[in-house]
Amino acid sequence: MSNTTTAVDLLRRSLDRFLAKDMKGWTDLCAEDIVAEFPFAPPGSPTRIEGRPALYDYLRNYPEAIDIRSLPTLRAYCTEDPNVAIAEWSASGLVVSNGNPYDMSYATFVTFRDGLIVN
């Protein structure tokens, strides 16, 4: 990571891709050996995904299921580790299959290596 690009900057860039429904572009921001963990995943959903191809496979159809239209809140925080950022954010949109509103709050802890998401 350069001295001018912070982990918070990289995290915000990743959320911009997410909002743009660019799942390929989002996973391109990830290292090949990324480990994505979802500790509060609902039953039947994975709690851990390893590797960029597996993560893309998991996310690629997300925009067809959930139409995220905005990120109403986003608070991103630096940590003492310059490669780690934390974000509290929310996503708002529609469930595509039934048109129901989708409003979800998230807490994201992201670790970067060489400017790419590793965890």
User: Cα-flanking dihedrals φ and ψ of residue 52, to 5°?
Assistant: -60, -45
Evaluate whether residue 20 is within a structural domain: yes
In a domain, 23, yes or no: yes
In a domain, 48, yes or no: yes
Residue numbers of the domain that contains 58? 7-117
- The answer to whether 90 and 72 are in contact (CB under 8 A) is yes
Q: Domain count of the chain?
A: 1
Structure token pair of residue 87: 């974000």
pLDDT beyond 90 at 114: yes
> The pTM is what?
0.89
In a domain, 1, yes or no: no
Residue-level pLDDT at 80: 95
On whether residue 77 sits in a domain, the answer given is yes
Give tens-digit pLDDT for 69-95.
999 999 999 999 999 999 999 999 999
Cα separation of the two ends of the chain: 16
Residue 5 in this model has a pLDDT that exceeds 90: no
CATH number of the domain that residue 66 is part of: 3.10.450.50
Sign for the pseudo-dihedral over CA of 17, 37, 10, 74: positive
Secondary structure letter of residue 34 according to DSSP: -
Residue 84 placed within a domain:
yes
CA distances from 106 to 32, 53, 66, 98 (A): 24, 23, 15, 23
In a domain, 99, yes or no: yes
Q: Provide the pLDDT confidence category of residue 3 given band limits of 50, 70 and 90.
A: low
Residue 75 included in any domain: yes
